[in-house]
A and B are shown apart, each in its own frame.
Chain A
Amino acid sequence: MDCKDLVEKLYFYLDGEILTEEERKAIEEHLELCRKCCERYEFERLLWEMVRSNGRNDSIPEALISRIESVIAQF
């Protein structure tokens, strides 16, 4: 696997999607050997983790849960 291949497959690797076990292993081996790709991987991993955790940070208003429960009770 070269750097170009890795960049093309990086998002699939981060998402745990599509790739075969062999492809995942090849990516991991490349990351151990290539500092530039390793830095790119770390940046992408941190960025999307930041997006995920901040995007999940809204709590549902208690009043909405009560509202839904009373709607269900009326069905």
Chain B
Amino acid sequence: MVRTREDQKKVFQELLIPELPALFRTALRMTRNREDAEDLVQEAVTKAFAAFERFEEGTNFRAWIFKILTNTFINNYYRLRDRQKAPSLEEMEEETSFQPSFEGVTPEEVLLNTLTREDILRAIESLPLEFRAVVVLTLIEGFSYKETAEILDIPIGTVMSRLHRGRKLLQKLLWEYSTRKTPLEKENEKGWTAKTL
């Protein structure tokens, strides 16, 4: 279907605007920096409009633009220094043992009652990129395994295994953050995250 440029801009904007909050959140989790996240979103939008003629109307715009965002991030923002700074997966996956610290309370209850939003975001942003991308797209933004596979251009089996390992790594980090807190910090933070649910 042939459209004028103005029509094309209008259609593009109508599809894009509802996705901007999720694009920004994802950019923020990827870049771990607000300024870079804003630049990344703008760059992805510019690329998306340039490629919009090739977008097939009626197909999944959300997955299409997220694919552009993640590719732009990997090509332009995921610099060598980030790769060098990342801890090795082996280091991160080392087993940790968790001991309950309150009598009569399970470690799971301790964890759920002491986690803060900062803990959760710090844990997500500490994940190696290949796990972080899958965790953010599926667990936070609600893409299906199939959509995530298309966005990241990887097989669905890889999405499943990265998501499984990503969850395990996240749990491990969250246990660690929880156990490092003093009993007073735990008491002060009790119920904090429950209010945000």
Contacts and interface: CB of A to CB of B under 8 A. Distances in A.
Interface in A42-75: 43, 46-61, 64-65, 67-69, 71-73, 75
A33 interface: no
B129 to A, nearest CB: 16
A20 B125 CA distance: 33
A67 B164 CA distance: 37
Contact of A71 (B45, B115, B124, B170): B45
Contact of B112 (A11, A15, A43, A54): A43
Contact of A11 (B17, B24, B49, B163): B163
B74 interface: no
B139 A68 contact: no
A61 B196 CA distance: 20
Contact of B164 (A11, A52, A61, A68): A11
Contact of A60 (B24, B139, B163, B167): B24
Counting chain B residues whose Cβ lies within 8 A of the other chain, the interface size class is: 35 or more
Contacts of A43: 108, 112
A52 B28 contact: no
Contacts of A75: 5, 9, 49
Contact of A50 (B12, B106, B193): B193
Interface SS of A by simple majority: helix
A64 B12 CA distance: 17
A56 B196 CA distance: 11
Contacts of A48: 139, 167
Contacts of A55: 25, 29, 120-121, 124, 136, 139-140
A17 interface: yes
Nearest to A73: B9
Given A46-B112, A50-B112, A54-B121, A71 B139 contact: no
Contacts of A73: 9
B62 to A, nearest CB: 15
A46 B174 CA distance: 14
B197 interface: yes
B21 A59 contact: yes
A51 B120 contact: yes
A54 B197 CA distance: 8
A18 interface: yes
A8 B193 CA distance: 28
B112 A64 contact: no
B197 A64 contact: no
Nearest to B107: A43
Nearest to B44: A68
A72 B8 CA distance: 10
